[in-house]
Structure 1
C-alpha cells in the first residue's frame, strides 16, 4: 500500500508539514510548558498531521473538511485562550490555522475525487 504523493496531493503534504510545525512550535517559540495555548498547539498539530497523513493514504472528504475545521479553530484559538497579547504565539496560530484552512478548502474545490464525494454523497 503506497502513499499517493502526487501533484494533486501537494496540499496534504504542506498541511502535514504545517501540523508538524504546529506540534513543535511551543518549544521553538518558548510557549509556557503545559499552558493552554501550548496544549492546544500540540493537540491540534497532532490532529492536523494525522488527518493529512490519512488523506495521503486514502482520500475522504470528511478528513479534509475536519482539517479545514481544525485550521479555523487554530486561527481563532488565541482569542479563545485570551492570549492575543502574546504576538509570537498569536501570529503562529493565525498563520498556521489560516494556511491549513485555505489549503484544505483549495483541495476540496480542486480535487475531482473529493468533489464527487461531496456532491455525489459517496
Structure 2
C-alpha cells in the first residue's frame, strides 16, 4: 500500500509540474516562440499522463512521462532556444524533475510488481 501511495504522490507532483510548465511562458515572461509552444505542448502532455496515471494506472504512462520529461530537459538545445535563459532554466528544471519522478515510479513498480493473486 505504501508503494501505491508513493506512486500516486509522484503522479500528483507530475500534474503540478505539467501545469507549471504550461503556464510558465506567462508567469516567467518568456514568450519566445518555440520555447512557449514547447512549454504548452509538453505541459499538457505531462498533465494528461499524470491524470491518466491517477485515474487508471498503466506502466506505459510512466514510460511516456519519462520520455516527455527527457524531451523537455533537452528541448532548449534541440529547438534552439538555449539563448532564452529563463525558458531554458524552466524547461531543464521541470524536465529533470518529471524524468526523475517517472524513473522513481518505474523503479517502485518493478521492485514490487502488482500481484495477480492473493496467495503468497
TM-score interval, normalised by the smaller of the two chains: 0.7 to 0.9
User: Match of 1:79?
Assistant: 77
| Corresponding residue to 2:40 among 39, 42, 60 | 42
Q: Distance in 2 between matches of 1:45 and 1:12?
A: 14
Cα distance, 1:115–1:41 mapped onto 2, change above 3 Å: farther
Q: Distance in 2 between matches of 1:20 and 1:49?
A: 6
Aligned-pair distance for 1:66?
0.3
How many residues are aligned here? 111
Q: Distance in 2 between matches of 1:17 and 1:110?
A: 20
Q: Distance in 1 between matches of 2:6 and 2:113?
A: 17
Greater C-alpha Rg: 2
User: Match of 2:21?
Assistant: 22
Q: Distance in 1 between matches of 2:112 and 2:51?
A: 16
Q: Secondary structure of 2:30's partner?
A: coil
Cα distance, 1:114–1:73 mapped onto 2, change above 3 Å: farther
Q: TM-score, normalised by structure 1?
A: 0.84
Structure 1 gaps of 5+ residues are 117-122
Does the Cα contact within 8 Å between 2:69 and 2:94 map onto a contact in 1? Answer: yes
> Which stretches of structure 1, 4 residues or longer, exceed 6 Å deviation after superposition?
none
Does the Cα contact within 8 Å between 2:30 and 2:84 map onto a contact in 1? Answer: no
CA-based RMSD of the aligned residues comes to: 1.9
Q: TM-score, normalised by structure 2?
A: 0.85
Does the Cα contact within 8 Å between 1:19 and 1:48 map onto a contact in 2? Answer: yes
